Amino acid sequence: MSGRVLVGVKRVIDYAVKIRVKPDNTGVVTDGVKHSMNPFCEIAVEEAVKLKEKKLIKEVVAVSCGPQQSQETIRTALAMGADRGIHVDVSGKDYENLGPLQVSKILAALAKQEDAQLILLGKQAIDDDCNQTGQMTAALLDWPQGTFASEVSLEGDKINLVREIDGGLEHIKINTPAVITADLRLNTPRYATLPNIMDSLMNNETELHKPNHRTSLCVGLIPLFETVAPEDMQGGTDRSGAMLRHTVLQSGKPKRIILSCLCI
């Protein structure tokens, strides 16, 4: 199988950041907060670049849907070894309403436009944890899907896949073109090297796309009512009396018991 791989990369709040809910409960604070590429998307990019290094595919195209800053995410993909980037410009209200269904429609349209043989995505994003985009994209294209992949190997025009599922590991064989979503153990993403960063950013361009009517984003299908933080932990009941009595009964001698405070 030769040809083009589309890799979806999403710009999300960095995994190490402490998330704070906005005071008006309409969402989480994103302004000024460190963002980076979704970790599962990094794994997808790494897999695509590895396939290219094995000469099983010809070109890796990184795609991101979002505002201007999404270009940073695409640049990271380029620095890791992607050949080309496509930034689908979605901002403002459209961006707030952007969800898996809309992204899937965009990816499906791009896949046809770019004549892609394979779409590689992360299994889910760490901000919304939807785990839907890969599956929806495959359905829209009527392509087979291999989700939660922990091993991918190409065999002619078929793909051997090992999936991590609740029951264990599932081995499947699917036809191409196909959609694959990457799970944690698929690979360990490489660091971009300094020369790669320089070469890629000098020589690779990122195209800008504006979504057209067919990939309409105007309607947000899932209304968001409220975002709240989980409740603070409440203190436990003081059972020191009960514990002390129990221990005395067991050993016949009173023991000094130090109960540590579990919540601060």
Partner 1 sequence: TIIQRKQKKPRKTGRRTKPPEEPDSGRGFHLPQLKEFQKVAFDFAANEMAPHMAEWDQKEIFPVETMRKAAQLGFGGIYVQPDVGGSGLSRLDTSIIFEALSTGCVSTTAYISIHNMCAWMIDSYGNKEQREKFCPDLCSMEKFASYCLTEPGSGSDAASLLTSAQRKGDHYILNGSKAFISGGGDTDVYVVMCRTGGKGPKGISFGKKEKKVGWNSQPTRAVIFEDCAVPVANRLGEEGQGFNIAMKGLNGGRINIASCSLGAAHASVQLARDHLLVRKQFGETLSNNQFLQFKLAEMATKLVASRLLIREAAQALQEDRPDAVAICSMAKLFATDECFNICNQALQMHGGYGYLKDYAVQQFVRDIRVHQILEGTNEVMRMIISRNLLSES
> Which of 259, 234, 230, 245 lies closest to 21 in space, CA to CA?
230
- Tokens 């409440």 belong to which residue? 234
The region of 19-27, 102-110, 117-125, 197-205 touching partner 1 under the rule CB under 8 A is 197-205
Among 197, 220, 244, 247, which residue sits at the site for partner 1 (rule: CB under 8 A)? 197
Kindly state the smallest distance separating residue 42's Cβ from partner 1, in Å.
Answer: 10
Residues 117 and 5: beta-carbon distance below 8 Å: yes
Among 150, 190, 209, 220, which residue sits at the site for partner 1 (rule: CB under 8 A)? 190
Distances, alpha carbon 6 to alpha carbons 31, 68, 121, 173, in Å: 29, 20, 8, 20
Instruction: Give the residues across from 165 on adjacent strands.
Output: 168
- Does 201 bind partner 1 (CB under 8 A)? Our answer is yes
Among 160, 192, 209, 220, which residue sits at the site for partner 1 (rule: CB under 8 A)? 192
- Does 202 bind partner 1 (CB under 8 A)? Our answer is yes
- Does 36 bind partner 1 (CB under 8 A)? Our answer is yes
Distances, alpha carbon 155 to alpha carbons 152, 160, 161, 173, 188, in Å: 10, 7, 10, 9, 22
Residues 67-126 interacting with partner 1 (rule: CB under 8 A):
72, 75-76, 79
Binding site for partner 1 (CB under 8 A): 36, 46, 50, 72, 75-76, 79, 187-199, 201-205, 264
